Amino acid sequence: MDTQKLKQLKGRSLLTWLDFTSEEIRLFLDFSKQVKAEKNEKKQRFKGQTLAMLFEKRSTRTRCAFETAFGEEGGHPVFLSTDDIQLGAKESIEDTARVLGRMFNAIQFRGFKQSTVKTLADYSGAPVYNGLTDLFHPTQALADVLTLEENFGDCQGKKLVFIGDGRNNVARSLLVICSKLGVNFSIIAPPALSPDAELLTLCNLIAKEHGADVRVSADLDEVAGADAVYTDVWVSMGEEAKKAERVSLLSPYQVNQSLMDKTARKDTIFLHCLPAVKGEEVTAEVIDGTQSRAWDQAENRKWTIKAIMLATLAE
Ligand code: CP
Ligand code: NVA
């Protein structure tokens, strides 16, 4: 671990992996492995520090990962839902950011607009972490790649297939991180749920620079040879009104055992960011079965989030 290089990450916000080089993402990833390996060592690396945790949307993993990772290192996390603070209601996001920046060492934001997390970073003067917006879920993507590497070693050249709503925050974040790290990344989705063309074109170029391919297809046979098959809910938070439309579009794209068998590999792993709707995007047989690594992946949220905060924040 090059601790000198790690120091260059001090003070940075994580809004999307588009803002980081491949080398920087690799540093976060390798540091996450170190943080996980040292998980039983009691350290107090956030002693005397404070973290504002802003939530417009619900969360289990992200909230618990940030809160436990920060608290067990001696820091003081403060949970603030939109029922608790003025954010965007009685006070502008700019003004909220200015005030939080005076009181907290760092800010986590989960909510709707990517522009909100950007404004918090621009006006607070503190590192800001994107804990999920409609567009990106970058801390999730780091845990996903860590889980891939725990199973197969260096992720470069491996094949990860995302199947489902290809335009959602999780698929888009995987698209970015995979292209930067040289992972061959395929999205299997109906045409109506393909990722947006602009991001796709950009990530295609980035992937090529790193010797990898980005592919989008509606054909289930695209899973052939996959190291990992990944899915997410058909209806993301904030899109509840689209439920019927999504079920009709995505029912042929359920991850079940026959889909897993199409990889023609016994060692293909199954990934899911969770929470899962068993019986919709994935069957219980697959997510609770031997190929699933969804629970390791959930645990890895904590170590990657701790590593991100340690690299950007701790003294
Ligand atoms: N994967 C994830 O972000 O889970 P939560 O919504 O529970 O935080
Ligand atoms: N795409 C999902 C991810 C949840 C972690 C959502 O935004 O609801």
The CA distance from 289 to 257, in Å, is 10
Return the number of other C-beta atoms located less than 10 Å from residue 58's C-beta: 11
Query: Residue 214: what are its φ and ψ, rounded to 5°?
Result: -115, 130
Domain ranges of the chain: 3-136+300-313, 140-297
Residue type, 248: S
Query: Residue 74: what are its φ and ψ, rounded to 5°?
Result: 90, 0
Counting from 1 in the atom list of ligand 1, the atom nearest the Cα of 110 is 8
Query: Using a 6 Å cutoff on CB, does residue 56 contact ligand 2?
Result: no
CATH of domain 3-136+300-313: 3.40.50.1370
The protein residue with its alpha carbon nearest to ligand 2, atom 8, reads 236
Return the number of other C-beta atoms located less than 10 Å from residue 89's C-beta: 10
According to the model, what pLDDT value does residue 4 have? 86
> Do the beta carbons of residue 114 and residue 15 sit within 8 Å?
yes
- 241-288 pLDDT tens trace: 999 999 999 999 999 999 999 999 999 999 999 999 999 999 999 999
Q: Decide if 137 is catalytic.
A: yes
| Residue ranges, the chain, pLDDT below 50 | none
According to the model, what pLDDT value does residue 314 have? 67
Counting from 1 in the atom list of ligand 1, the atom nearest the Cα of 237 is 6
The CA distance from 65 to 299, in Å, is 8
Residue type, 178: C
Identical fold at 3-136+300-313 and 140-297?
yes
Evaluate whether the domain defined by 140-297 bears CATH number 3.40.50.1370: yes
Asked whether the whole model's pTM tops 0.75, one would answer yes
The CA distance from 24 to 185, in Å, is 20
> How many A from CA of 208 to the centre of ligand 1?
31
Q: Which of 50, 45, 48 is nearest to 35 (CA)?
A: 45
Catalytic residue chosen out of the listed positions 227, 254, 273, 291: 273
Task: For residue 205, give every residue at least 6 positions away whose Cβ sits within 8 Å of its Cβ, in sequence order, or none.
Answer: none
